[in-house]
Amino acid sequence: TQDALLANEKLAVAGRLAATIAHEIHNPLDSVSNLLYLMRNGVTEEESVQFMDMAEQELARVTQISRAMLGLYRESKAPVLVDLKDMLQEILLLMERRLTDERVNIHADLPSGIAVDAFPAELRQVFTNLIANAAEAAGPGGNVRVNLRPQPALSIDGHKQEAGATVMITDNGMGIPDEVRPHLFQPFFTTKGERGTGLGLWVSRGIVTKHGGTIELASNTDEATHGTSVSVFLATKPTINAGGD
Ligand code: ADP
Ligand code: MG
């Protein structure tokens, strides 16, 4: 039947995904065991520092991948009221070290008193991913803006827009070329080589969709006005679909 076919298709996708993830995690773990092997066999002080740094970086990659996955597969509890200003400020504080190292200028415009029902750990993951992408795109000396806006309930021509909030993250990076756009939300699609996981946008969209929200991306590569803007709309009282598929 149609349903059975669909279920099969879903299983096939899940299987492929699991295989890809296993592969992505296998490589850094392999590097770590090689590095440990080398260290066991007598190395200079200098080498041992260097190898430990390398092992740490490889493990950080595994952590990065598993964190990204957790956002989607965590057991769902009930959503709680999340103050978006508090959450975004906390995220920016946690990212400060890294943003300062990368010499990215952050401008945050975060009015108080805007809250939505959500799974906080998951939402934090979304904003962290999007701000990280914006910072990576902006690069040294670049600008990233984080804006929070209330979204009043609207009813225009019988079309209803629920009350909620929009978080908009804008950067003045190089923008996204047309040929890249169709792939943005595919798992493991990255233009950053070894430095990227290609999971950020895919996981973020999964989380936002689960929250009944929307994520929209506008970008241009124009020489004078290049940059990217990602908007996340979240309803104050969302219909959360916890069916994790
Ligand atoms: P990763 O950041 O690990 O590459 P993501 O899923 O977060 O994976 O992003 C996928 C790709 O989308 C990036 O490699 C990059 O090419 C593109 N991208 C995402 N955000 C931006 C942005 N703000 N500006 C330019 N390109 C972006
Ligand atoms: Mg990313």
Ligand index nearest the alpha carbon of residue 199: 1
pTM metric for this prediction: 0.76
pLDDT score, position 5:
67
- Residue 75 clears pLDDT 70, i.e. is over it: no
Cβ atoms 144, 101 nearer than 8 A: no
Q: Is the CB of 187 under 6 A from ligand 1?
A: no
The verdict on the CB of residue 129 being under 6 Å from ligand 1 is yes
Question: Does the pLDDT value for residue 245 go beyond 50?
Answer: no
Across the range 95-111, mean pLDDT stands at: 93
CA distance 146 to 127: 10
Q: Is the pLDDT of residue 10 over 90?
A: no
Query: To the nearest whole percent, how much of the chain has pLDDT over 70?
Result: 88
For 20-73, how does the pLDDT look when each residue is reduced to its tens digit (9 = 90+)? 777 778 888 888 888 888 888 878 988 889 899 989 988 988 887 777 666 555
* ipTM for the complex shown: 0.99
* CA dihedral of residues 8, 180, 188, 147 (deg, nearest 10): -110
Nearest protein Cα to ligand 1, atom 7: 200
State if residue 184 touches ligand 1 by the CB under 6 angstroms criterion. Answer: yes
Per-residue pLDDT, 244: 45
Beta-strand pair 164-171/227-235: antiparallel
Test site for ligand 1: of 127, 146, 190, 222, most ligand atoms within 8 A of the Cβ:
190
Mean pLDDT of the chain: 87
Q: Is the CB of 173 under 6 A from ligand 1?
A: yes
What's the pLDDT tens digit per position in 153-207? 888 887 788 899 999 999 999 999 999 999 999 888 999 987 888 888 988 998 8
The reply to whether ligand 1 has any atom less than 6 angstroms from the CB of 217 is no
